[in-house]
Structure 1
Amino acid sequence: MRLVRIGDATSAVGKDLRAALVSWGRGDEVVGGIALLGVQPPGSDQPIDAVVVLPRGVLVIVGVDLPDPAVRLDAPLGGQWKTDGWPLVRPDGATNPAAEALAATAAVTGLLQAGRVEPVPVSTVVAIGPYVSQVSQPTADLVRGVRILHPEPMNLLTAARELATHPRPCTVAEAGRILAALHPTGPDLGDLAAEGFPHAAAAATTTLIPRVVDGPAAPKPVAAPKQGGLRWLPIIAAILVAILLITGIAVAISSASDSGHQRDPDGNRPGPVPVDGVGFTARGSAEHTDCAAHAFGDVRGWLEANGCARLIRARFEATSDGKHAAVLVSVLRFSSSSSATELRTVADRSGGGGVADQAAEGVAWPGDRKPTFESAAYASGREGNSLKLVQAVWLDQPSAPDDPALKEIVTKALQLSLAR
């Protein structure tokens, strides 16, 4: 990656951000691309800490300085931020600093669209300082393409690989137009191929299939029917009538039997599965082979690098002491137990990511409930070559990751079987 210093850092954490980008080194061995530091694109109200143009996407990185270091930051895009459980209040009165970053991203997106440059995904990274150990983001915000993190080199690299996912890399010429739109008076950067931009897009190949025009096919001679075969027609008709009568009787008997079962409309629905005093009612499941596409954070990065054989996501509603919880059970199957052990180490780390609920992909939770698995209790377990990850939140009251009742639910949910 090549760094182009245009202006000063707009935040104190901007120095950490620049150090992280420098650590990736020149060239495309790590990620490639061009980073414009301290750039103020035309039409923007203020400079941006960094706009990173990667071969497969653009990252708008905005630095945000917290009053003090924090162990945990709860950072929803649409709500109040909290540091270690306390509402964040900055001197300027902002309670959600992400609004500034989203506005900067919108300005960059509008600029590129107005310039009619290659449409690449423009994503947002909010760099938090002076230090945050764990950042909690709602799954919907992660799927939206926003990452909030302390800019350590690996954190930032993981975000870049997750967000820059354009199907085709920008060519040298296209990257040049993007950079010119962002900083029209910038220096000539020369050949960008060393930073991972190809000189030309891969050419599509077309195979022409010649059209063959034949004359009309000669009609095949039709053999005259044998007269002897006509004598069998009455016998065949009688057999068909008998078969139809037998089939009608069987259908009538079956219908009568089925109508008796329909008296209980819930008779075919599975009831709650009791596990040590907690009832788990299934609410649907989904199976995938593209495991990384349904994960987030470090878990997604690990799956992109290593893959998995199959992912099963199952929803349950649990009842404990009269309270109701939404439970997401995810099972990742591997060809070896060592892979499951390695991924469990990643998932168990604070802020290590996990598997997203289907609601983040547009599949609503059954019924009128809309649980979000932020502040969810968590547990993990191993089953042979499989890893099981469980999250749970209350459906009728606020949740907390250390809620004893929720912790009990996720621990017991590890005993559920998702055989498919």
Structure 2
Amino acid sequence: MRLVRLGTEASDVGVDLRAALAACGRGSGVLGGVALLGVTPPDCPQALDAVLVLPRGVLVVCGVDLPNPALRLEAPLQGTWRVDGWELVRPDGPPNPASEALAAATAVSQRLQRLRAEPLPVSTVVAVGPYVERVIQPSADLHRGVRVLHPTATALLTAARELSTADRPCGADQALRLLTALGMPFDELDAAALAAEGFADSAGHDLAAASTVLIPRVTERPGPTAAPARPRRAPRWLPVAALAMASLLLVALVVTVATAGDDEPAPTPTAPTTQGSAGPNTTTASTVDGVRFEPRGTAVDADCAARAFGDVQVWLARNPCSRLTRGLFEAVGPSGRAAVSVAVLTFPQAATAEQFRGVASAPGNGGVSDLVREGKGWDGGPKSFSGAAFATARDGERVRLVEVVWLGEPSRPDDPRLRTLAERALRVPLPG
């Protein structure tokens, strides 16, 4: 990881953060990316300890200084923090230390959307110190893409791997424009330096995604000229054989006509897709990288905002999508059994779809209701998708949102096995 220091640390724990990032060293062997230290991005309400621009994600890091070292920190995004059982009180600031970090991450995400920078997920990291042995966060907060941690190299590396979820690495040229938009001087780094930090080589960035095969040209070469064939007299048995063959064909034709109506296969009925309904047989099972996805229900709606909640619902009310298709699957693979919720939203334009993906990926912005929440689950399925791993992808005018939870065992958003299943669920076919 390349460190670019633009100002002083915004908190005391920022010193520990800088030391942990420096321990990763340059290059992409450990982490990669660029860390802007002591940066105040344009339109951001406060100075930040760091913004980590990684090949597959952006982490906004805000420091929170605790009064003393702690063995146990309970850090919900809503409510009061508790340090070793005592409530954390801050007279000169907001009641919840994470509120400033969430506001800063939202400002960074909105700026990148306005500038149409490379669409990378923007997540929030709250670095706490001087020392915390254990941090307790609710599962719902982890699902929103927020991590509260003491900044060690191991903790930062784990958070970066869990939160960097872009489908493909950002190109070096795009990363340069993104870093410049966040406040880095234009001449600080070049494309070659960024490529060394794990960003895709811009020269071959577009071609790398395509599979090409060179097909050699086929040229017809004249063959040797054949000598004129010597006329041959047809054998005398040929007319007899031809007559016998014609008789056999005539008999076969009569048999075919006589039995044509008896063995005609009946047409296979096609299951209809009902607007706003869910059923178990609306699509077929699919296998992706060794994981079988059994369909458990689908529903198609035209009013996307009515099926959403939070800020996502407000955004969809102002920017309606043309179609919402949701599905439930039971995933069976080497890691175990899991429940999968998929929502595909179709928009009139690709630019609108990309804007929605940014809104849906931002922490604390809500989402789209799954069918289980609406009482359309299945026997043996989950009671809810609480603690689910989350993934999102865009394909042209369509945006796909995926949630995955285990069946029969507790789920955590940072579970690497669940996150792998979520990434595979991005490729499961869904009608609509």
Bin of the TM-score, shorter chain as denominator length: 0.5 to 0.7
Whether 1:5 and 2:30 are equivalent positions in the alignment is no
Letter of the 2:200 partner, please give it.
P
Change (3 A) 1:116 1:228: closer
Give the structure 2 partner of residue 122 of structure 1.
122
Whether 1:311 and 2:336 are equivalent positions in the alignment is yes
Could you tell me whether the CA contact under 8 Å between 1:71 and 1:134 is conserved in 2? yes
Classify the secondary structure of the residue corresponding to 2:128: strand
Q: What is the distance in 2 between the residues matched to 1:117 and 1:312?
A: 38
Could you tell me whether the CA contact under 8 Å between 1:289 and 1:310 is conserved in 2? no
Give the structure 2 partner of residue 54 of structure 1.
54
Spell out the pairing of 1:1-80 with structure 2 (5 A cutoff): 1-80=1-80
Change (3 A) 1:180 1:127: same
Could you tell me whether the CA contact under 8 Å between 2:6 and 2:184 is conserved in 1? no
Change (3 A) 1:122 1:389: same
Could you tell me whether the CA contact under 8 Å between 1:139 and 1:360 is conserved in 2? no
Change (3 A) 1:14 1:311: same
The superposition leaves residues 137-192 of structure 1 with CA deviations (integer Å, 9 ceiling, x where unpaired) of 22222222111111111011110111112121112111110111011545421332
Change (3 A) 1:158 1:289: farther
Whether 1:104 and 2:129 are equivalent positions in the alignment is no
| Identical aligned residues as a percent | 52
Give the structure 2 partner of residue 141 of structure 1.
141
Q: What is the distance in 2 between the residues matched to 1:166 and 1:92?
A: 38
Classify the secondary structure of the residue corresponding to 1:124: strand
Whether 1:161 and 2:186 are equivalent positions in the alignment is no
Q: Shift of residue 107 of structure 1?
A: 1.0
Q: What is the distance in 2 between the residues matched to 1:17 and 1:137?
A: 20
Could you tell me whether the CA contact under 8 Å between 1:289 and 1:311 is conserved in 2? no
Could you tell me whether the CA contact under 8 Å between 1:67 and 1:90 is conserved in 2? no
Change (3 A) 1:391 1:174: closer
What value does the CA root-mean-square deviation take over the aligned residues?
A: 4.0
Give the structure 1 partner of residue 178 of structure 2.
178
Alignment length (residue pairs): 258
Change (3 A) 1:195 1:228: closer
Q: What is the distance in 1 between the residues matched to 2:105 and 2:373?
A: 31
Classify the secondary structure of the residue corresponding to 2:18: helix
Normalised by the length of structure 1, the TM-score is: 0.53
Tell me, which stretches of 5 or more residues in structure 1 are unaligned? 210-220, 241-287, 291-307, 315-358, 375-387, 393-420
Q: What is the distance in 2 between the residues matched to 1:126 and 1:187?
A: 30
Q: What is the distance in 2 between the residues matched to 1:93 and 1:115?
A: 31
Whether 1:199 and 2:224 are equivalent positions in the alignment is no
Classify the secondary structure of the residue corresponding to 2:168: coil
Quick check: 142-151 or 365-374, which moved more? Answer: 365-374
Normalised by the length of structure 2, the TM-score is: 0.51
Q: Shift of residue 94 of structure 1?
A: 2.4
Change (3 A) 1:40 1:64: same
Change (3 A) 1:309 1:373: closer
Tell me, which stretches of 5 or more residues in structure 2 are unaligned? 216-245, 264-288, 292-332, 340-366, 377-382, 389-406, 412-432
Could you tell me whether the CA contact under 8 Å between 1:57 and 1:164 is conserved in 2? yes
Classify the secondary structure of the residue corresponding to 1:160: helix
